[in-house]
Structure 1
């Protein structure tokens, strides 16, 4: 009898717990961003017959349930702690590598990537009178593959990049490939953070100088680099739970103080605030100190610059561009910055309203091959 009562009580408690979790998942507001993983979380997808038939609705709905699950970050931390205790080399898609590096798994193009390519092709045809450039940045596990554990074999990011860049050129885009420059510089320059998935300011500056040759930008402006934080631990530490024993330095680049330059004026449309600072130094005290580069995510903002060339650039980007943008301020009179993850207006209205001369897409390959927000924006 006692065992029977115990079983019934246990079963009832289990059902109550499941019901409570289910109800809380329905009631609690959805989260839009994960600081632990440094990525946008899936929102509740809208239903349409075409999305359902193509399989996109089911995929997004599954991602939505996974991303919005109650206590998700707590479960991630528990799993990470267990992986570290067991001495694993990998946790949550992050690997412990040589020379104190943590590196993310290489992402492969998802099954909906073909829609993104089709949208880019159509976009190029629609605005054939606008010069279009595409910089697809390689990730650390590609350029620094020699630092991966000997037993780890990742996907060949170069083959995916080569194929995609070839397609872009056939669509009429000018492609900017920084891989050769990065491979030559990697022994003398820290191109990626050890604890974060972004490139460093030195990596961004090298990418800018490489891009400048393709876009024909004046690179005469001299810059001085300043370390503003020496104990940075990025999102790969938080995501994996690995403590690699080596902090990173965050560096900012400023025009040579001996040159008399006026400041740019940055206007954030969503908050209706203005600033003259590309670098938000107060954010160095935050957990995600990488937000020193431009602050939090914004759907769209404009930069009015002191540049002498009367050129207007539309920059469509992910977070890799944040440390790249300050260098462009010496080459364009006006820059319109758009993050497709948050921008839900008509991109054509921006192009026409600001009389855009050039468009630069800047993404890192891991994010780009898995993200469908660009396709949604260009297809609207």
Structure 2
């Protein structure tokens, strides 16, 4: 095994390289025995996608899901001795339960296993599928889209694939580095207009492509596997918006974009990370999440550093960077990052004073931060009132619904808390704390059957 700082690689038969570890996930180890994963994580993913399907269907938006399988799930015959993968794979198990729930899901694992032949479907020095494999998945995605969109896949005979020497994301971690061949597709039809392209240290990415020969609008929730899909998808839809990370489908973005189709593409390896049940319900708006580091703003460098430090819990660094950003932010557009840094640094009074001094009108995120500051200062009723104001900006936000319900319940007002907590579990059915507090509210109101149901749904079982 040869390891990088956060990635390790194993070499299998005939020189094939496999991803062993990446950012805490160990896909080969996790995929070897899926018993516990199927018991704990699979139901959470299933509930999350079921809720997404319901929200999108209510708006007349179609959903198609595809799990990009690990190389080991398709080419397990090249794994090194002593390595084996459980069957069905995690990708197949999620695909199967989603189909049972009426969610359109492409069986990428099955498609690629059937397509194995002379042309490789995964790169020997890379963890991703080839452009040739991506084209097969692309055709399946188009076939799964609603007929009303009138989509026509790009004909296979018009596409040319050329090999280009490259180290790949695995070969580059060997010593010495190992090169292989990566495919470069040449797709007919002219250039795609890139209307927006922004990223925040590769964690939050937003791209919008436009193509005059396409039809309809698609929102693609993606990870790195979609880099191989995008040459085809971006020439199929009139407008294709790509966002990452792949675990989040921001509801306010869906509402504003109003796409005809949402494609969720998630890597099988990502299903082994801890599930984030509130990922669709960010306190930040989608514009704050994806676009605030886009413009050539004098505060851009400091803002990116502050946001990254906030994500990693480096509060002192976040505070320093946010203050530098605020110093050159004349219109207070980025003040919320400073407020968040102050709050996390333990200065609730300073965070509240910063909010009071801003020239910007109130928004969902700032109101939520104000609420947390007020709660920390033990100004409980003011905090509840402020969280309700935040909810007025996005009434379905399950994160805010849960927070309102939890705080109201803590004040001893169970009946008042109940509708907030019921709304929270409807929007984020995999969020165990919401189920727990719902159970506690029902218990306080004497609903013992409802209490048991809430605790069971949240994974809380009585001690025998």
Unaligned runs of 5+ in 2: 21-27, 282-397, 400-464
Counterparts of 1:316 and 1:374 in 2: how far apart (Å)?
A: 16
Counterparts of 1:190 and 1:373 in 2: how far apart (Å)?
A: 34
- Structure-2 change in CA distance of 1:165 and 1:185 (3 Å): closer
Matched, 1:133 2:59: no
263-272 or 333-342, which moves further after superposition? 263-272
Counterparts of 2:203 and 2:192 in 1: how far apart (Å)?
A: 19
**Which residue of 205, 219, 227 corresponds with 1:322?**
227
**Deviations, residues 69-99 of structure 1 (Å, cap 9, x unaligned):** xxxx3xx7xxxxxxxxxxxxxxx75321122
**Which residue of 58, 67, 75 corresponds with 1:144?**
75
Larger relative helix fraction: 2
**For residues 1-380 of structure 1, what are the structure 2 equivalents within 5 Å?**
73=5, 94-105=9-20, 106=28, 107-108=30-31, 112=41, 114-128=43-57, 129-149=60-80, 151-156=81-86, 158-215=88-145, 217-221=151-155, 222-227=158-163, 229-230=164-165, 232-239=166-173, 241=174, 247-256=179-188, 261-268=189-196, 270=198, 298-309=204-215, 311-340=216-245, 347-370=250-273, 372=275, 376-377=279-280, 380=399
Aligned to 2:456: none
**Structure with more relative contact order (C-alpha pairs < 8 Å, separation 6 or more):** 1
RMSD: 3.1
Q: Which of the pair has more CA radius of gyration?
A: 2
Counterparts of 1:173 and 1:116 in 2: how far apart (Å)?
A: 12
**Deviations, residues 286-318 of structure 1 (Å, cap 9, x unaligned):** xxxxxxxxx966522211112342x11110111
Post-superposition offset of 1:131? 1.0
Counterparts of 1:180 and 1:269 in 2: how far apart (Å)?
A: 33
369-378 or 151-160, which moves further after superposition? 369-378
TM-score normalised according to structure 1 size = 0.60
Aligned to 1:22: none
Counterparts of 1:93 and 1:262 in 2: how far apart (Å)?
A: 39
The answer on whether the counterparts of 1:113 and 1:370 sit within 8 Å (CA) in structure 2 is: no
Q: Helix, strand or coil for the counterpart of 1:118?
A: helix
- Structure-2 change in CA distance of 1:142 and 1:375 (3 Å): farther
Aligned length: 259
Post-superposition offset of 1:152? 1.8
The answer on whether the counterparts of 1:165 and 1:175 sit within 8 Å (CA) in structure 2 is: yes
Counterparts of 1:225 and 1:164 in 2: how far apart (Å)?
A: 31
Unaligned runs of 5+ in 1: 1-35, 38-72, 77-91, 273-294
The answer on whether the counterparts of 2:108 and 2:137 sit within 8 Å (CA) in structure 1 is: yes
Counterparts of 2:277 and 2:265 in 1: how far apart (Å)?
A: 11
Counterparts of 1:327 and 1:347 in 2: how far apart (Å)?
A: 24
Counterparts of 1:196 and 1:160 in 2: how far apart (Å)?
A: 20
Counterparts of 2:193 and 2:272 in 1: how far apart (Å)?
A: 33
- Structure-2 change in CA distance of 1:370 and 1:113 (3 Å): farther
The answer on whether the counterparts of 1:225 and 1:251 sit within 8 Å (CA) in structure 2 is: yes
Counterparts of 2:92 and 2:279 in 1: how far apart (Å)?
A: 24
